[in-house]
Chain A
Amino acid sequence: MAVVRREILIAREPDDVWPSIGDPAALSTWFPGIVSAEVNGASRLITTESGLKMPEEIVTNDPQRRIFSYRLTGPMVRDHLGTIEVHAAGQGASLVSYETRCEPDTIALVIGGACGNALHELRRQLEQPAAAAGRQEA
């Protein structure tokens, strides 16, 4: 099993960052390549830009510890666990980590790469709210 971990510093307080992470339906607003996220209880169905549908099971959504984790149960992956954590980094900033564990290893890299890219988009939106509004309008 491969583990791909990406981290990013965001110049916003954890309380400002967490709502984007903790709202499972908001994923498509900050994860490039995901066009929709339909939530039904502990299940989430994401649809990618290429039209692929990926069912997920939400494992943890803990606003106190600011941890969100989920399992992809659909095509391509075996034994997947994705975990996003938001930590205070001091001086009004947050350290956000996005870890992907799964088999096969190759897909861990593909998903982990997309997650890393998503963290950059999340930072861009949170640090430049005007840009985020523009993306939603587009």
Chain B
Amino acid sequence: MGRKILFVTTDQQRYDTLRCNGGTIARTPVADSLAASGIRYTRAVPQSVVCMPSRSTILTGQHPTTHGVWMNGVPLPVDAPSVAALLQRHGYRTALVGKAHFEPYLDPFGRFTENSLARLGVETVTRPWADGSTGPHRGFEHLEFATHGAAAPLHYTLWLWQNNPAAIGMYYPVLDPNFNVNAAGGGATGAPQVHDNPIPREQYHTDWVADRTIAWLNSLPDGDDWFCWMSFPDPHHPWDPPASELSRVDWRDVPLPDGYPQDRAEREAILDAKPRHWRMWYDGALVSNYEAPKTWVPATLTADQVREVNARNAVEVELIDEAVGRVLRAVEARGWAADTDVVFTTDHGELQGDFGLLFKGPYHVDALMRLPLIWRPAPSAGVAPSVVTSPVGLVDLAPTFCSIAGLDLADWMQGRALPVSDDAGSRGRDSVLTEWDSDLFGVDVHLRTITADRWVCTAYRPGSVHDGTEGELYDLTDDPLQRFNRWADPACAAIRSELLAALWDAQPPARAEALELQAPV
């Protein structure tokens, strides 16, 4: 019997939403306990700040340039490399429960496997694998899907239809009648994508994901090794947790985030010092990401709306924490606790009021790029608790899973197993890459970023908004809120050159044939 792996992801969760990372709103005792007994990473960086590319990086262990999912709406090829397939081939039982999103949701033709499994009533289907063989879809022998709300034809929606069909209409309508992401506001402040959801807590998707994870684990024989990706759709917008839970956090008591400059003139001056798509979005003149509601103008965001969004987000984070605790108790009840590794992270962050913005987009700052990441190694492995401050990436997760399972790293993986301490031997230069490419209705934006040492450096490639000379350079030590763009600061010219050289030198190989955008999300 080897080590089992419980891989927990959330969607769009900021680093500072966990108490162990300095959060002050949500109570997260389960995550905090995992961090105290494991390894807490203080600079975990995604390779993309949107779902599909980032999740594809987690699964493939490759950067977006290489796996080819360059923006949301580009499906990951079914025969892409998969760490789940590798583990399954070596005897691991494998499951993904919750949000997958390697394939687009908007799929009226029903072309994509993720949208068809619930209808077909099967756990998985056989598909080609990267090594030329075939096996369960992306390496998962059990797939059970959920997403935000209950609109998509996924397992959770079907379950609600069978158990409480009225609950489907209780969720916030994610899309408006024109199939754009909804800008409608709600709650007490009218904040976009905030909604009072009367669904019973036990039927909310967070608890459903935990329930279905426990059900799958309980279906396994005691002696099996397993890799279970438990993937919560929250705290991604819409912010519509069960109304019964809202009293946990009174939005009126929520402090404004440090990243939210309360003075409008100050806020706008900060934006004006960044590349121009920042201010253009703020003013409603440009939308470069489909998931930012097209008709919502960030400049209209009020301080109270920021408070209410953060309060609802915190409620969702607490529900996730409690759900994880429930699954850990189920693991313990099976007698697996000593041999189970737990990895907790998310796919990317959320602006959540920073700079007067919400949601996400081509904005490579901590709100979107600094992620919660905790690895609690199996107690039987005897790894000492620690805090790792060196930059690591989600690209390092697949190699880490291989390391836990005692497998050699596959040659297609581009990351390295996560370090267990800051002095755990040299991993080479501690830098991480992040990229953004989008091309949506004539607006194309392209960023390449390196996080290294105390710096975050972003270069802009030419697009419809930028001429290729723009950039951003932040000193994370002196300017942790990334308010002061040092790109054009003569005092930073040398470090800028050094970082740019490292950035371009480290660019991963591009996929031979570019993949086409097939849907907006």
Contacts and interface: CB of A to CB of B under 8 A. Distances in A.
Contacts, number: 70
Contacts of A19: none
B516 A6 contact: yes
Interface string B115-157: 1100100000000000000000000000000000000010000
A101 to B, nearest CB: 13
Interface in B491-521: 516-520
A113 B440 CA distance: 13
A55 interface: no
Contacts of B520: 106, 109-110
A48 B110 CA distance: 7
Interface in A1-51: 2, 6, 32-34, 48-51
Interface string A102-138: 0111110110011011000000000000000000000
Given A50-B119, A113-B73, A117-B518, A106 B111 contact: no
Interface string B89-115: 000000000000000101111110001
A27 to B, nearest CB: 12
Contacts of B519: 109-110, 113
A104 B111 contact: no
Given A2-B441, A109-B73, A116 B109 contact: no
Contacts of B110: 33, 48-52
Given A2-B441, A34-B109, A106 B179 contact: yes
A49 B518 contact: no
A103 B108 CA distance: 15
Question: Size class of A's contact patch?
Answer: 20 to 34
Given A49-B116, A50-B119, A50-B153, A116 B108 contact: no
B317 to A, nearest CB: 30
Nearest to B175: A106
A9 B122 CA distance: 37
Contacts of B516: 6, 113, 116-117
A116 B517 CA distance: 9
A105 B441 contact: yes
Nearest to B179: A106
Contact of A106 (B119, B153, B178, B517): B178
Contacts of B119: 50
B517 A109 contact: yes
Nearest to B178: A104
Interface in A46-76: 48-52, 76
B180 interface: yes
Given A50-B153, A110-B519, A110-B520, A76 B108 contact: yes
Contact of A48 (B109, B178, B290): B109
Given A104-B180, A105-B441, A106-B178, A50 B518 contact: no
A107 B178 CA distance: 8
A105 B175 CA distance: 13
Contact of B518 (A34, A52, A116): A116
Contacts of A110: 106-108, 179, 518-520
A109 B105 CA distance: 13
Nearest to B112: A33
A93 B418 CA distance: 50
B116 A104 contact: no
B180 A33 contact: no
Contacts of A107: 179
A48 B518 CA distance: 16
A50 B179 contact: no
Contact of B179 (A104, A113, A114, A116): A104
B109 A33 contact: yes
A10 to B, nearest CB: 16
B167 to A, nearest CB: 22
A109 B442 CA distance: 12
B325 to A, nearest CB: 37
Contacts of A104: 178-180
Contacts of B73: 109, 113
A33 to B, nearest CB: 3
Interface string B193-216: 000000000000000000000000
A106 B518 contact: no
A103 B441 CA distance: 13
Contact of B108 (A2, A52, A105, A117): A52
A8 B110 CA distance: 23
A40 B134 CA distance: 41
B111 A49 contact: yes
Nearest to B109: A33
A49 B114 CA distance: 13
A2 B107 CA distance: 18
A110 B109 CA distance: 9
A77 to B, nearest CB: 10
A51 B108 CA distance: 9
Q: Which of the listed residues A34, A50, A51, A76 has the most CB atoms from chain B within 10 Å of its own CB? A: A50
Contacts of B441: 2, 105, 109
A18 B108 CA distance: 26
B79 to A, nearest CB: 14
A95 to B, nearest CB: 16
Q: Which of the listed residues A48, A49, A51, A113 has the most CB atoms from chain B within 10 Å of its own CB? A: A113
Nearest to A50: B110
A5 to B, nearest CB: 12
Contacts of B180: 104-106
A43 B347 CA distance: 46
A105 to B, nearest CB: 6
Given A52-B110, A104-B178, A114-B111, 9 more contacts: A50-B109, A50-B116, A50-B153, A51-B110, A105-B441, A109-B519, A110-B519, A113-B104, A114-B518
- Listed from nearest, the 5 A-B pairs whose CB atoms lie closest are A33-B109, A50-B110, A49-B110, A113-B518, A106-B179
14 contacts: A6-B516, A33-B107, A33-B109, A49-B109, A50-B110, A50-B115, A50-B119, A50-B153, A52-B109, A76-B179, A106-B290, A107-B179, A109-B520, A113-B516
